[in-house]
Amino acid sequence: MKAVCLAAELEWSALLKYYNVEENSCSGYPYGRYFLMKEKDTGFFLTGKRKSNAAGACQYIIDHFGPDRVILIGSCAGIDPAYNVMDIVVPDLAVQTDTTVWELDRLIREEFTSRLSREGLESGFKTGTAASSDKAVVMWEDCIRLRENGITIADTESAAFAYVCRLNGLDCTVIRGISDFPHEFTPEEAADTGNAQIQGYLRNTPVIIERILRECLEKIY
């Protein structure tokens, strides 16, 4: 069985709409909700946001459902300016970027860096390095620091999923669509729920989920 995971409620709603699944038909587990599609030999899991939920949900799914592959899908922030909003990225590397004190140490530690599987998606999709931190990339200085370290996209879950899968000897695939890019906002502008980054996330995420389900997962099933 394949386990397809999503972190955010907005992503989950788009998934249910795509497959015409009613919320009240889903089952619960400690980290969220799930449903199984026997015809695709796949379970779909809402895991909750941030690295703690990602790691806990991933291990729970491995222990209780026994998937042979874990696939994390969703939207993300773009970091590398060579990429564009709505690009679908299948990274080959996931790194945790909140395991050090940035001001005193290097940004990325090898022990929290994991290789990702791109099986079935090697051609036709952009790749790169996904960075994960519990702190979402909103402030401009955070974006610049990630750019300086060769990061392509940023989210709050991918590297935790990849790390847990690595410890369990299991393939992990990440498929993310760029919903928005950080901008050079003042703190007041960044906190405004009407700013361009937040609106881009809200507007583009449902479209990204539909594209990933249609263009990417159908190549894996």
Domain of 181, CATH number, reads 3.40.50.1580
Q: Is residue 178 within 8 Å of residue 77, measured between CB atoms? A: yes
User: What tokens does 173 get?
Assistant: 């695939």
41, 66 contact by CB (below 8 A)? no
* For helices 50-65 and 158-167, angle between their N-to-C axes, nearest 10 degrees: 40
- Residue 103's contacts (CB-CB under 8 Å, 6 or more residues apart) are none
User: What pTM was estimated for this model as a whole?
Assistant: 0.93
Alpha-carbon distance 13 to 210, whole Å? 11
pLDDT for res 194: 61
Whole-angstrom distance, CA of residue 121 vs CA of residue 216? 7
Structural domain span for residue 43: 2-220
pLDDT for res 20 = 97
Q: How many domains does the chain have?
A: 1
Q: How confident is the model at residue 191, as a pLDDT?
A: 65
Q: Among 133, 185, 179, 183, which residue's Cα sits nearest to residue 157? A: 133
Mean pLDDT of all residues in 178-188:
82
Q: What is the mean pLDDT of the chain?
A: 93
SS3 at position 23: helix
pLDDT tens column, 92-118: 999 999 887 777 777 778 888 999 999
Quick: pLDDT tens for 160-171. 999 999 999 999
- Backbone dihedral angles phi then psi of residue 40, each to the nearest 5 degrees: -105, 0
